Amino acid sequence: MVTKAVVSVSVAASITSSKLLINPSHRFSCLKSLSSLNSFSASALAIKCRGLSNCTSIKSARTMEGFTTITRASAQPLQNADELIASVETFIFDCDGVIWKGDKLIDGVPETLDMLRSKGKRLVFVTNNSTKSRKQYGKKFETLGLNVSEEEIFASSFAAAAYLKSINFPKDKKVYVIGEDGILKELELAGFQYLGGPEDGGKKIELKPGFLMEHDHDVGAVVVGFDRYFNYYKVQYGTLCIRENPGCLFIATNRDAVTHLTDAQEWAGGGSMVGAICGSTQRDPLVVGKPSTFMMDYLSDKFGILKSQICMVGDRLDTDILFGQNGGCKTLLVLSGVTTLSMLESPSNSIQPDFYTNKISDFLAPKTATV
């Protein structure tokens, strides 16, 4: 029986998860390496953990979701893919660095997805990339020859709109967008009025005497995401709304520091635009994308699945893996994206997935995949 430490913090605004301080001598009795998996519910695990009277000096971190985290055993190389596959009902895949890199499909992906489907697994795709809507992502999958429907795709652009819907954001209020087309499309689909977006990228301001920048006092939320058309006009507009419109929400699609826009290198990510607005408003945003569990809760609710029945597959420790851990799922890191084995094993890394492997097509290999 595996007694695995459970449920971790969604540190929405920071990169590494905070750790509970467990009495060191009992640390390894609490955590066993996961060479075999049993499926049991996350809540059962939680009870097991709380019942461990040896867990002393537990410091709970206050976060958006209010969970607490425990240091984990090191990630195991994936040696028995069949066993992992059999133990879950749903696979959640990140996209950049897992399915594709830029516009290039990663080797073996179509066959892997087909195999999982043939075994009756539900496939869901959760990406922090907010530049496209679900529909637009559906088209990208299609162009790459993958059989994925838009209902299986959850981009952070969708998450922003879904969040506003979940809090009954009034339809007579407006949303100012510092971000790209994907966010606008999802807001429109959800029936919200929006301002801003790419076209404000062309607006210039002149800082001269007597000039006053007006802003719409009906803006009740500012949504900030990755924005290649970022400029001072948008920063000021968003800042004015947040500072001056009473109760105005500050929502971030995600805070990824860098993103793989092209397969060749890293690009400054949504974390940059969000950081800019944090700097001018001195406020922290509500984050709807990974590692926040908003999308996980939404999914499990929508599909009626237990989180313990899910395996999150991603290439980033501080978003994908933390997302999976925060949600109480199993986690598999692939090394086909931004994270290397040395980064995983570095002493400064505190996020350990359950498993790691080279790429998802390792699922196709019999038994042992050499990493």
Which residues of the chain form contacts with another protein (CB under 8 A)?
A: 15, 102-104, 205, 207-213, 227-232, 235-236, 239-240, 243, 255, 257-258, 261-269, 271-282
Closest CA to 101 of 276, 343, 334: 334
Question: Is residue 361 helix, strand or coil?
Answer: helix
Angle at 274 between CA 342 and CA 290, to 5 degrees: 50
| Residue 240 C-beta: closest distance to another protein, Å | 8
The residue among 238 and 353 lying less far from another protein, judged by its C-beta, is: 238
| Residue 229 C-beta: closest distance to another protein, Å | 7
Closest CA to 241 of 283, 208, 294: 283
Whole-number Å distance between alpha carbons of 253 and 279: 17
Active site residues: 89
| Residue 299 C-beta: closest distance to another protein, Å | 27
Closest CA to 98 of 90, 108, 106: 106
Contact 204, 234 (CB under 8 A): no
Contact 364, 108 (CB under 8 A): yes
Closest CA to 316 of 365, 260, 276, 277: 260
Classify residue 336 by its DSSP letter: T
The residue among 237 and 363 lying less far from another protein, judged by its C-beta, is: 237
| Residue 143 C-beta: closest distance to another protein, Å | 13
The residue among 40 and 229 lying less far from another protein, judged by its C-beta, is: 229
Classify residue 304 by its DSSP letter: T
Conformational region of residue 191, where left means phi above 0, alpha means psi within -120 to 50, and beta covers everything else: left
The residue among 110 and 275 lying less far from another protein, judged by its C-beta, is: 275
The residue among 70 and 242 lying less far from another protein, judged by its C-beta, is: 242
| Residue 100 C-beta: closest distance to another protein, Å | 11
Question: Is residue 27 helix, strand or coil?
Answer: helix
